[in-house]
Amino acid sequence: MEYIGKTSLYSYLKSKPNRRLDETEVRDIFLQICKGVRYCHSRCIVHRDLKLENILLDSSNNVKIIDFGFSIFVDPDKKLNIFCGTPSYMAPEIVSKTHYRGNSADIWALGILLYTMLCGKFPFRGKGTFLKVFY
């Protein structure tokens, strides 16, 4: 197997002032993540656990998406009802335990990643805040 290194996007962000990146760097990293997710979706694979810890960076900031333990092969028109993933990145429909489209859940997680890289914090904190924002 290819050796990527041990730097996750999470540890990379932690090493930066205010735990955030400048917009140019975010653009370069996020574009690579999106291309990887688009490729998976084009093959009917939904990751379902996209998060900072599951994005590895090599010394040139090339991205590798890892940990496909929750991934699933699914018809894009089929809805899922499996509760899985990491709470801070879960789409509202997963949290509310309703049927959801796998691709949409990955897209939600991409939004969380983008916000976190730009702002240095998660967009939602705690159950109360999540419920106030969405319900």
Q: Is 1 helix (H, G, I), strand (E, B) or coil?
A: coil
Of the candidates 49, 67, 77, 106, the residue annotated as catalytic is 49
Q: Round to whole Å and give the CA distance between 102 and 132.
A: 24
CA angle, residues 113, 118, 122, in degrees to nearest 5: 55
Query: Among residues 5, 62, 2, 6, which one has the least CA distance to residue 36?
Result: 62
111/89 Cα distance (integer angstroms): 9
- Decide if 74 contacts 20 (C-beta within 8 A): no
- Taking the C-alpha atoms of residue 123 and residue 116, their distance in angstroms, rounded to an integer, is 7
For residue 3 the two structure tokens come to: 């050796």
In the residue annotation, 22 being an active-site residue is answered as: no
Catalytic machinery residues: 49
